[in-house]
Amino acid sequence: MLSRLRRSREALAPAAAQSPSVTVALRALRRLEARLTQLPRVVVLGEFNSGKSSLVNVLLGSDFIPGPITRRGRIPVLIRYSSQPALVAVDANGGRTQVDAEALSQWRGAPLSRVEAGLPSPVLRRIEILDLPGAAHPTHDIGDLPAKASRNAHIAIWCTSATQAWKGSELRSWLALSERLRPYSLLAATHKDRLRVETDCEKVYLRLRKEAAPFFRNVVLVSSLKAKQARDGALNVVEPVLWRESGVDVFQANLADSVLAFTVLREQAAAQAAQRIALRLLKRLQDSQDSTDGAALAAAWLRQAEAMASRVSLENVRDMAVLQEVARVIQGFGTGVLEPWLRQRGWNEASARLLNLFRCDLAMIASAIDGLPPQAAVRRVHGALRQLHGELSDALSTQTFQASASNVALADVRQLLQPLLEAGKAA
């Protein structure tokens, strides 16, 4: 989808010169591309001590989240891929400072709004992770942070402790967040190792399925502790039984499924959006042509005719220079404006007849007013100019003048947009 979008956009780019509508559409397409290239953001939520950071560390495969630091500061941590580990402290004014863990733990600067971390962790090639401070803490109220943070997130993981899972306050916090997240989000019951027997896990799982299922994609029980014990430093599973018991494999599969589902749906949505953009562009081009055509042309003539008429008076109606001027204006409009316009639209009988009206010279005018008293002469000249406007308007509103030249351009655009139009239909 992304490459199709990019191809269509690049093909369309030269047409931008022809119409501002094309530029608008290009911008919209570029935004769409940007949205598609963005990695899905996974926001990790839950009440305090619900195992969020441990779970994130298991996903990352390292003890990266400096628990005590973020816990004390209660700051969100945004984790992205980077080839070298890096930490950036972002303060409330948007100021960014490159730091290390040590400097972060002793941060004395402006209050931080978040920490951005870069890490060469494979999972970060597919997602970025936003780890939020825990809700429901008795002394550190995080207020509407979850609502704000989830506005820019695509997938959410709600962590709840398996031994006291899914309390009313958690349900209500979750329901307060955007419904958009629900089809891709997971409920992770952490500290699975604290359930002493397998049947207990089963029971908790069944209850959560029953009570929380309507609000999540799936429910998974995990033990970060066991997962950590099951892997060696290079993240190879050395204790397969522990690894299976940890539930992290199931969790990873579910997360991958969420990411996939989200991506697929995002592409479908993008295809539909691209189709809407293409349709809108075509309509704009069509509309803009139709509107400049008839009415605008007649109006342009009317302006010129009236300007001319105002210059013809009782005093100067017999003045040849003035009449010459009138003839020039009429001819000028005919050959300079009307003829190219008509030719652009494909020449036909109606065009010839229309253009013929504007074939006018000094002799014609002179003979038309010859022998008339000045008042009648002025009236005749004014009348002729007005009559030309009337004829022109009538002809333009009744005859069809196909815009042949720009027809080609519109057809080109339609051709270019075809993949987008079809993509939308397929979606």
What is the pattern of x (binds other proteins, CB under 8 A) and - over residues 46-85?
A: -xxxx-----------------------------------
Query: Should residue 229 be labelled a site residue for other proteins when binding is judged by CB under 8 A?
Result: no
C-alpha–C-alpha distance, residues 371 and 375, integer Å: 11
Of 139, 236, 367, 398, the one binding other proteins by CB under 8 A: 139
Query: Should residue 171 be labelled a site residue for other proteins when binding is judged by CB under 8 A?
Result: yes
Smaller CB distance to other proteins: residue 136 or 300?
Answer: 136
Smaller CB distance to other proteins: residue 167 or 283?
Answer: 167
Query: Should residue 182 be labelled a site residue for other proteins when binding is judged by CB under 8 A?
Result: no
Of 84, 98, 106, 168, the one binding other proteins by CB under 8 A: 168
How many residues lie near other proteins (CB under 8 A)? 44
Q: Which stretch binds other proteins (CB under 8 A): 110-118, 196-204, 350-358, 397-405?
A: 196-204
Site for other proteins in 348-377 (CB under 8 A): none
Strands 112-119 and 86-91: antiparallel
Of 151, 194, 318, 359, the one binding other proteins by CB under 8 A: 194
Q: Is the dihedral of CA 12, 17, 19, 24 positive or negative?
A: positive
Of 164, 178, 415, 418, the one binding other proteins by CB under 8 A: 164
What is the pattern of x (binds other proteins, CB under 8 A) and - over residues 208-227?
A: --xxx-xx---------x--
Query: Should residue 405 be labelled a site residue for other proteins when binding is judged by CB under 8 A?
Result: no
Of 203, 318, 353, 359, the one binding other proteins by CB under 8 A: 203
CB of 208 to other proteins, least distance (A): 9
Of 172, 310, 321, 398, the one binding other proteins by CB under 8 A: 172
Of 53, 150, 161, 351, the one binding other proteins by CB under 8 A: 161
Query: Should residue 242 be labelled a site residue for other proteins when binding is judged by CB under 8 A?
Result: no
Query: Should residue 394 be labelled a site residue for other proteins when binding is judged by CB under 8 A?
Result: no
CB of 168 to other proteins, least distance (A): 4
CB of 309 to other proteins, least distance (A): 56
Residues at the interface with other proteins (CB under 8 A): 47-50, 135-139, 141, 143-144, 147, 161, 163-173, 175-176, 191, 194-197, 200, 202-204, 206-207, 210-212, 214-215, 225
